[in-house]
Structure 1
Amino acid sequence: MDHNPAAVNPFQLFDVPVVISSQNDSHCFDDDGRLKRTGTLCTASAHIITAVIGSGVLSLAWAVAQLGWIAGPAVMFLFSFVTYYTSSLLTECYRTGDPTSGKRNYTYTDAVLSILGGYEVKACGLIQYLNLFGISIGYTIAASISMMAIKRSNCFHNSGGKNPCHMSSNPYMIMFGVSEILLSQIPDFDQIWWLSIVAAVMSFTYSGIGLGLGIAKVAASETLKGSLTGISIGTVTQAQKIWRSLQAIGNIAFAYSFSVILIEIQDTIKSPPAEAKTMKKATKLSIAITTTFYMLCGSMGYASFGDFAPGNLLTGFGFFNPFWLLDIANAAIIIHLVGAYQVFCQPIFAFVEKWATRRWPESYFIIKEFNIPIPGRRSPYKLNMFRLVWRTGFVMTTTVISMLFPFFNDVVGIIGALGFWPLTVYFPVEMYIQQKKICKWSSRWICLKMLSMACLMVSVVAGAGSVVGAFLTLRFTI
């Protein structure tokens, strides 16, 4: 191995041999010399649900309103099927070669490096980390919207409806950023399992409240709003109808985006049984649960508001009673997004820190850890100055960008469209073909390639719709 730091491939971060002679036989260590993984079906499902039932669920009523009663649920079902199928292919790539004893791939880019290699690993790394970066921006915007909703609700009721309660989202984005700076100091992915469980519970809480309010609104009006083809021409122009429909597809794609961190989640699972077996069960369970919620929330939201379904479902119910229930729902969104932000950002943190360690192995600033005693905890917290500075800078950057571009629906659509095809479909399909040595031009090879090409076209048109939507929103805002 070349020990010249300048020659290190930054994507080959985790292929570091660990020599532990006596400890490898211990019950405390796995086959790769690392501490035994302790993840289970429950914790893996919690990570996935935290990642999937994110702020994307709030835009589904708007998405169904653009597509209508037929295309809206159909597109959601298709995305759930494609996501489950390609995620099952991706789980097979956690180990290179034998599914029980092959070399572990600790991250998504590790899997691409060991199976595909070449320029594809660089493309994958760039797309993955840009996607995660974009998701963190989207979550910051969504959290600030919920904070503002709570503040405006209380202001509205305290003034008896006389004060319009206009306010800026910037202070709330800063508050969210400060909380993430603190939580970002948790060193590793496997140490935030408790945060994922709390976040998953919160996601069910606000989704359930949104669903319940939608059912109550439909029951009160005794009518199901909406049409088979979605928002009507007249309410919007024909061109707007097309662009908004494409943007809606991007929003639905965003709602199912978790493949980007699937390998990282799988790396927390203990074995036996084989990690791929547990991960497939977790994926099936999580996607079944989330799709049920998505269908209910999207459909009931559309039935409640019709063509005027809001971009954020909970904001559509206004500030009327029971306003305290909406406050609870928005508080649950905030707590969930606090955890989801960490789930998506931990892979970026690990990438940069391990690259820096390999690049400057003698740096005191990067390597040195200080033991900070914490009352009530047996082991001290290990403070690393590079981790403190770099992660704080990252959170500050996402916060500032969110303040400059606070358009939730447009950001969601762009992120979903750009990340869906390469990360959810292309790389899993290509790695699976290579891993299983599927013969070129065989029926299975052709079907997998056709699936990839179809999803590419979907991503392209959804991305175009979302970019146009963002441009129009920015123009009218300015």
Structure 2
Amino acid sequence: MLEEEIVRNRSHSIDGIPSQLDPEYFDDDGRPKRTGTIWTTSSHIITAVIGSGVLSLAWATAQLGWIGGPLAMILFSLITLYTSSMLAECYRCGDPVYGKRSYTFVDAVRSILGGRQYTVCGIVQYMYLYGSAIGYSIAAPISMMEIKKSRCLHLSGGKDPCHISSNPYMIGFGVIEIFVSQIPEFHNTWWLSVIAAIMSFGYSTIGVFLAISQTAENGTFKGTLTGGSTENVSTTTEVWGIFQALGDIAFAYSYSQILIEIQDTIKSPPSEIKTMKNAAALSVAVTTAFYLLCGCMGYAAFGEQAPGNLLTGFSMYNPAWLIDFANAAVVIHLVGAYQVYVQPVFAFVEKGAAKRWPQTKVEHKIPIPGFRPYNLNLFRLVWRTAFMILTTFVAMLIPFFNDVLGFLGAVGFWPLTVYYPVEMYILQRKIPKWSPKWILLQIISVICFIVSGAAALGSTASIIEDLKHYKPFSSEY
């Protein structure tokens, strides 16, 4: 009788509160029922993928030319889609339906590849995510400043150069993120991702429209088949530019490092793998279409003079409100994209702190008239605020938009988008060594390693060159 009572209590509600094993309210791992769909998953992916990287694609295309630019974007999209499909199959260890779930990218690495790889991957992933936060802390203020610069140029008729310090805008963006970062968990950011995805479509569409308009005004398509500069620049500089362009494109497609975190929000049935693959295919197809339009039309409009941030090339465009709206959309999008990238970092630190110091999990209810009480966690408030302050400080120290994006794309693309998904997939599917498929996967990995290495060199060379003429905390735009 006692055993029957225990079973009954485990499978039914007690005083209206569902038990932790009730399948109506909880998933197979005892966590609250996941609610993610193909649409929320696609929103997360698009928010992560169509970020500040899209704005640098016209410049990247200018370095590679009409042949190399579109070809590079298509190849990166195919590789990203292929490896993300493999990574999606690693969400559950062993059985794709009933296997143990991995809640994060590094959890999947630990379950499938082991502890040593887990340590190395964790260092690379969280450094990349932190670097992305720095990149967004640079990109968003540029758009903020562009709004003010556009107004200044129109008022002066283009006579005033309108130099603006970036520091107040970086600090302002950091303050905004301090408040937004108090969203407790990644699962709670779906609404922010939906808004951010809409904004990304908005400013990408405006960028394409403006580029088409500028091309029509020019009366011709600018650019060359091979790209590069027609000015007297050294071969070394052109090579570094090509390498950095590859890094920028790689960064524009990077989202594998948070794919498992996104997949952990998906409800089942259907299986999380099926939903994730469909969402990845949809998202990569949509983003590639936008990338080709932004990169190619931006190059057609400006040729070798394509700016590092596409929207900055239209400061004198009329109507000015359209440019202002596009830049405001960039800022709103990056507020959401920032959270998509840093929430896994928050979760990692807070999970570790809770294991060592259980008191860090204590929450205090703060009454809000007309709303539910807010659960204030002092540790979360203090540590996340400190994180934002440090990130903003570093962004103010090295405010090089293109160079930072290229470097992040270079160092993160091969290990996170290619190497770990390939190695986990090989073990998960038990692919025999030296079989045709094993050889193909290794060839893809080696080629991507070489490309990542070259892109890292190009971006590092550009950063070193920029540092020769830069004074810390005194940047103007």
TM-score by length of 2: 0.94
Picking from 76, 81, 88, the partner of 2:78 is: 81
Say yes or no: does 1:463 pair with 2:460. no
CA shift for structure 1 position 318: 2.4
1:182 to 173, 176, 179: 179
* Residue from 30, 34, 48 that aligns with 2:31: 34
Q: Does 1:371 align with 2:365?
A: yes
3-state SS of paired residue (1:196): helix
Query: Is the CA contact 2:38–2:275 (under 8 Å) kept in the aligned structure 1?
Result: yes
Which aligned pairs between 1:134-283 and structure 2 lie closer than 5 A? Answer: 134-283=131-280
- Paired residue secondary structure (1:174): helix
- Aligned partners of 2:20 and 2:31 also within 8 Å: no
How far apart are residue 313 of structure 1 and its match? 0.4
Shift of 1:233: 4.8
Q: Give the letter for the 2:362 counterpart.
A: K
Q: In 2, distance between residues paired with 1:20 and 1:182?
A: 39
Against the structure 1 CA distance between its residues 220 and 389, is the aligned structure 2 distance closer, same or farther, given a 3 Å change threshold? Answer: same
Contact 2:42 2:283 in 1 (8 A): yes
For residues 10 and 241 of structure 2, the distance between their equivalents in structure 1, rounded to whole angstroms, comes to: 57
Hey, what's the Cα distance between the residues in 1 that align with 2:56 and 2:369?
42
Q: What SS does the corresponding residue of 2:438 show, helix, strand or coil?
A: helix
Larger displacement relative to structure 2 (158-167 or 82-91): 158-167
Corresponding position of 1:67: 64
**Equivalent-residue separation in structure 1 for 2:177 and 2:295 (angstroms):** 29
Which of 114, 118, 122 does residue 117 from structure 1 map onto? 114
Aligned partners of 2:10 and 2:21 also within 8 Å: yes
**1:347 matches 2:368:** no
**1:35-93 C-alpha deviation (Å, 9 max, x unpaired):** 00000000000000000000000000000000000011000000000000000000000
User: What is the identity, as a one-letter code, of the residue corresponding to 2:341?
Assistant: F
Following the alignment from structure 2 to structure 1, what is the Cα–Cα distance between the partners of residues 159 and 251?
38
Structure 2 equivalent of residue 382 of structure 1:
375
1:437 matched residue in structure 2: 430
RMSD of equivalent CA atoms: 1.3
Deviations 1:212-238 (Å, cap 9, x if unpaired)? 000011111110000000023535321
* Contact 1:233/1:241 (<8 A) preserved: no
Out of 407, 414, 426, the position equivalent to 1:421 is: 414
The residue identity in structure 1 corresponding to 2:415 is P
* Code of the aligned partner of 1:334: V
Matched, 1:325 2:322: yes
- The answer as to whether partners of 2:150 and 2:316 remain within 8 angstroms in 1 is yes
Which one-letter code corresponds to 1:297 in the other structure? C
Say if 1:47 and 1:193, in contact at 8 Å, map to a contact too. yes
Letter aligned with residue 49 of structure 1: I
The amino acid of 1:367's aligned partner reads K
1:337 and 2:331 matched: no
Contact map agreement 2:149 2:315 (CA 8 A) in 1:
no
Asked if the contact 1:20–1:33 (Cα under 8 Å) also holds between the matched residues in 2, the reply is no
User: Residue 322 of structure 1 aligns to which amino acid in structure 2?
Assistant: P
For residue 407 of structure 1, what is the aligned residue in structure 2?
400
Q: Give the aligned residue type for 2:249.
A: I
- Given that 1:112 and 1:120 are in contact with CA atoms closer than 8 Å, whether structure 2 keeps it comes out as yes
* Mapped contact 1:253–1:416 kept (Cα < 8 A): yes
Distance 1:332 1:20, change over 3 A: farther
Amino acid at match of 1:220: E
CA offset digits 1:86-109 (Å, max 9, x no partner): 000000000011111110000000
Residue type of the alignment partner of 1:330: N
In structure 1, runs of 5+ residues without a counterpart are: 1-18
Report what 1:108 is aligned to: 105
- Alpha-carbon deviation of 1:26? 4.2
Normalising by the residue count of structure 1, what TM-score does the alignment of the two structures yield? 0.94
Aligned to 2:354: 357
1:449 aligned residue: 442
Aligned to 1:298: 295
Amino acid at match of 2:334: L
Identity, in percent, stands at 63
Number of aligned positions between the proteins? 456
2:474 paired residue number: none
SS in 1 for 2:376: strand
Q: How has the CA–CA distance of structure 1 residues 20 and 320 changed in structure 2, closer, same or farther, with 3 Å as cutoff?
A: same
Instruction: Please give the secondary structure, in 2, of the residue aligned with 1:382.
Output: strand
Q: Following TM superposition, by how much is the alpha carbon of 1:322 offset from its aligned partner in structure 2, in angstroms?
A: 1.8
SS of the aligned residue for 2:206 comes to helix
- Aligned counterparts of 2:470 and 2:23: Cα–Cα separation in 1: 62
The Cα of 1:381 is off from its aligned counterpart by 1.8
Structure 2 unaligned blocks of 5 or more? 1-8, 12-18, 472-477
State the 1:372 CA deviation.
1.6
Q: Distance in 2 between matches of 1:186 and 1:62?
A: 35
Hey, what's the Cα distance between the residues in 1 that align with 2:226 and 2:319? Answer: 32
Alpha carbons of structure 1 residues 92 and 143: separation in structure 2 relative to 1, 3 Å: same
